[in-house]
DNA sequence: GATTTTCTTGGACAGTTGTCAAGGAATTTC
DNA sequence: GAAATTCCTTGACAACTGTCCAAGAAAATC
């Protein structure tokens, strides 16, 4: 800790922080591939260009490394659909765009989301990640809600469910098709892309 | 394997199978408490009345024990809401009953469901459980669909979403409130109980 | 009650894990 | 270029893991 700051002030730039970033990246790579239960420090080091000893130079212990990695993971995770929101000009466009974006996410980043669900679950057993995971989950919820609110504007309608329920719905949907997708069902992404617009409509449906 | 069957034919009753059941029970206890990543055979043995060596007398290896346990887990998991379906005589009764049942499940069996989500996630990394997990997931989906179909009868309405989407919705809902519940939010179960009936209605809402 | 079979224990094994420290590279500082 | 500092490797450690086995306890069989 104190070492770190001394180094920063000495060498000028934050080379220390940069290495942490780099090692966290390797950690995420290993975690996404192997899952939390099977990821060891030596495995992480092997994904990087360094030996296993270096991890304790940049991180106090495994928990700090993983916590840092989880936080880093957030960046990729919580702004994913903001472009779709910004670019859509009609309700229908937003529906389709949202569905397509989720399908694309499923296709290209399946292993990273598998990791996300793994970490969220670990936080139910282990106190250490809980705060970070809950924060990421809140931001994901907010991200979904931005889509819903924009749709409300464009369709001039009122969402019939709460923020939490909207998030639960789309998250559940994604997770469900993730399971299918990773189990080898090739049509999973397409199915998700088709299901999403219908669910969006349904959330605004009034009797 | 062959040993097992010889014993059964000799001693008459299935004492062998009984012990397997008993040890699987201890395994589930340990898994629910600690999570997959932190559950060792010695930990499981400690939950039972036996020493760690006995596990390899009744199971070939750890994978077989865990697979057997996962299958056993299924029993509790896939018929949970059938009573509600059987007893409800009006659509509104079913709505409320379903919500109350999910809330009760969240209150009393949170750790077991934490385990379920953990195992389902493990199956995304490890081939060995995948088939069993997918089968349980299918049965859970069918269980939810029985609720939906019964509601359709009682309300004389048509569900506006597919079986998969209906399951994803309620499963996502439950999981979301499970996270909150285990994080210490005391109102989580009540909130879930209130959210469910509204979501049920929404699934049948036609524009 | 003796013998055979079934069951259970406890210890040993080889491998893996997180952690740490000594020493050597590499780099900066003067 | 010498000295000081920062960075990284290597090997060691104790604890833990799944697995296996010898030997004794318990039970069934005769």
In this prediction, residue B11 carries a pLDDT of 52
In this prediction, residue B13 carries a pLDDT of 57
Chain B residue numbers with beta carbons less than 8 Å from the beta carbon of A182 are 124
In this prediction, residue B75 carries a pLDDT of 85
Separation of alpha carbons B154 and B187, rounded Å: 30
- A177 by Cβ neighbours in 10 Å (0-12 / 13-18 / 19+) ranks as buried
pLDDT digits (tens, 9 = 90+) for A28-62: 999 999 999 999 999 999 999 999 999 999 999 99
Separation of alpha carbons A94 and A175, rounded Å: 21
Nearest nt (C1') to A65 (CA)? C18
Separation of alpha carbons B85 and B95, rounded Å: 10
Tokens of A188: 């999973």
Chain A residue numbers with beta carbons less than 8 Å from the beta carbon of B124 are 35, 114, 117-118, 178-179, 182
pLDDT digits (tens, 9 = 90+) for A120-165: 999 999 999 899 999 999 999 999 999 999 999 999 999 999 999 9
Tokens of B120: 């389902």
- A90 by Cβ neighbours in 10 Å (0-12 / 13-18 / 19+) ranks as exposed
Phi, psi of B88 (to 5 degrees): -75, 135
pLDDT digits (tens, 9 = 90+) for B77-101: 899 999 999 999 999 999 999 999 9
Nearest nt (C1') to A48 (CA)? D8
Name the residue of chain B whose CA is nearest to A178's CA: B124
Say if the Cβ atoms of B165 and A173 lie within 8 Å: yes
Query: Within 7 Å: CB of B11 and strand D?
Result: yes
């Amino acid at each position: 800790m104190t070492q770190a700051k001394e180094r920063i002030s000495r060498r000028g730039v934050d080379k220390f922080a940069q290495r942490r970033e780099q090692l966290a990246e390797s950690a995420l790579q290993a975690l996404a591939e192997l899952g939390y239960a099977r990821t060891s420090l030596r495995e992480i080091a092997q994904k990087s260009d360094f030996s296993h000893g270096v991890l304790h130079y940049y991180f106090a212990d495994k928990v700090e490394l993983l916590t840092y990695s989880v936080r880093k993971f957030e960046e990729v995770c919580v702004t994913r659909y903001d472009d779709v929101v910004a670019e859509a000009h009609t309700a229908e466009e937003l529906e389709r765009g949202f569905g397509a974006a989720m399908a694309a996410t499923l296709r290209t980043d399946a292993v990273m989301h598998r990791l996300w669900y793994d970490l969220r679950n670990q936080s139910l057993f282990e106190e250490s990640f809980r705060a970070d995971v809950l924060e990421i989950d809140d931001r994901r919820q907010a991200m979904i809600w931005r889509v819903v609110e924009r749709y409300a504007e464009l369709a001039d309608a009122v969402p019939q469910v709460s923020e939490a329920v909207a998030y639960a719905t789309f998250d559940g949907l994604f997770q469900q098709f993730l399971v299918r997708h990773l189990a080898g069902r090739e049509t999973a992404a397409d199915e998700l892309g088709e299901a999403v617009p219908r669910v969006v409509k349904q959330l605004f449906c009034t009797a």
